[in-house]
Chains A and B, each alone.
Chain A
Amino acid sequence: MPDDLSPRGPETVALSLTVNGTSHSLHIPVWTTLLDLLREGLGLTGSKKGCDHGQCGACTVILDGKRVNSCLVLAASRDGSEVRTVEGLASPDGALHPLQEAFIKHDAFQCGYCTPGQLCSGVALLEEGHTRTEEEIREWMSGNLCRCGAYPNILAAILEVARKEGRA
């Protein structure tokens, strides 16, 4: 895994980042987005580049406990942060997160491109507790687009986990 994304120079910055529990000390060009750092620098290609403009949600990761569009995060500004990506949702022993299980059960995807973002957004949503009604889940998941139109099944998957956890 590379710890050096470019030659050191005036336009690079040192950065410490914990990603899915693993610490990284990096030197990155200052204009690197968190998404590019995850994908190109750390080889974590689960987070997807859809629009690259914060409009589709495919790049959603959980940054210091909050879901964000990693394509619009300047990595340099998040020195010392903790990042959780789709690769970090399952347990270390491989057991899937309950929401991942529910996505499979409810067929909550077709092409799968938006799924990592949907999952990270959904996991954060469950922690936020904005899952009391179907309307509330739809509203608070509106930052994650699905061109295949799997919305009813994504909704069903989130609702099932929310109910199991007493959040709906």
Chain B
Amino acid sequence: MRPFHYERPRGLEEAIAGKTEAARFLGGGTNLIDLMKYDVERPASLLDLTRLEGLREVERNGEGALRIGALVTNADAAAHPLVREHHPLLADAILAGATAQLRNMATMGGNLLQRTRCYYFYDRQTPCNKREPGTGCPAKDGVNRIHAILGTSEHCIATHPSDMCVALAALEAVVVVRGPSGERRIRMEDFHRLPGDTPERDTTLDAREVVTAIEIPAGDYGRHHTYLKLRDRLSYAFALVSVAVAMELREGRISRLRVALGGVAHKPWRVKEAEALLEGQAPEEECFGAVADRLLQGARGYGHNDFKIGLARLAIARALHQAAAAAPQSHVAKRIA
């Protein structure tokens, strides 16, 4: 690891004032410290936020929205009674990711900001437009089994690796951030971005902004949800394809549907037109394929990841079936019902 300066800001204002392009905020460190060991991240200084007050609360406001502080660990969030009662989809997605050890360290804010696991991004011996803009993207013609099939650009085909963020996208969460000019609220769909011409930017966060909380609006989907994650081994692997579904049913018809895909794009993938196809309809299996087709419209493979298109189509239909049947995928018993 390269030497760096280490600072413990005493409050958010001090943290924001000290943040430069070359500085990084330290939360759980599970991704940042790892990337520093690989020499991919080379911060001049680390601003340790882990002792800041007021960022560890989980609370529900008058309108039923759940606010989770940025420093709440993934483990604590998944185990929190308010999360389990009101947003079990989020708990399931968190528990589908990483390991008990990593979830004990990783924070909610840090999970939002984790970087891609693209092999070329991690390997300093190869070019990578995300790591070093303008050098090229070897993944397009290289080993790309884990790479994106949607929203790619000629400059980058990396995926966002988070499970948590896929659930947050389906739950239409809002990311609360603080910067030099005060607080700003960013919808999940606007928080992560597609690579386009600037794949070095994962999010729409400004360099001097810090995530302070995640807010999830009240929902009424009961047990009609699921987080279905497909991967190369049964535990402790990133998703090849994952699907988060939150479905509200009224008198046998779908009154509201939210679907987000993981492992397929540079951000959690949502298509509102696909969700609208089922709204007002009874949850009939025959309709699920059309939702999948709309979600996957424009999908393209790069060789090794061609299989993801067919896999995603089946996973979407299966996840819709699970949500309609009020049978969320268990992250312990791995059998897919």
Contact = CB atoms under 8 A, between A and B. Distances in A.
B285 interface: no
22 contacts: A10-B5, A11-B5, A31-B2, A31-B4, A31-B6, A52-B37, A53-B34, A66-B75, A68-B105, A72-B29, A72-B30, A72-B34, A73-B33, A74-B46, A77-B48, A77-B50, A121-B100, A121-B101, A124-B100, A133-B332, A139-B332, A140-B100
A133 B333 CA distance: 10
B37 A73 contact: no
Interface string A59-98: 0100000111100111011000000000000000000000
B236 A143 contact: yes
Nearest to A128: B100
Nearest to B27: A77
Contacts, number: 86
Contacts of A52: 37
Contact of B33 (A33, A66, A130): A33
A52 B236 CA distance: 16
Q: Is the interface on chain A under 10, 10 to 19, 20 to 34, or 35 or more residues? A: 35 or more
Contacts of B34: 53-54, 72
A44 interface: no
B265 interface: no
A135 B333 contact: yes
Interface in B321-337: 331-334
A116 interface: no
Nearest to B237: A142
Given A11-B3, A77-B50, A139-B235, A69 B332 contact: no
Contacts of B46: 30, 74
Given A72-B33, A77-B29, A77-B50, A31 B101 contact: no
A127 to B, nearest CB: 11
Interface in A112-132: 121, 124-125, 128, 130
Given A53-B34, A77-B26, A135-B332, A30 B101 contact: no
A40 interface: no
A136 interface: yes
Interface of B: 1-6, 26, 29-30, 33-34, 37-38, 46, 48, 50, 75, 98-102, 104-105, 235-236, 331-334
A31 B30 contact: no
A31 B104 contact: no
Interface string A125-168: 10010100101101111110000000000000000000000000
A125 B104 CA distance: 12
A57 interface: yes
Which among B5, B30, B33, B38 has the highest number of chain A CB atoms within 10 Å? Answer: B33
Contacts of A73: 29, 33, 105
A60 B104 CA distance: 12
A57 B101 contact: yes
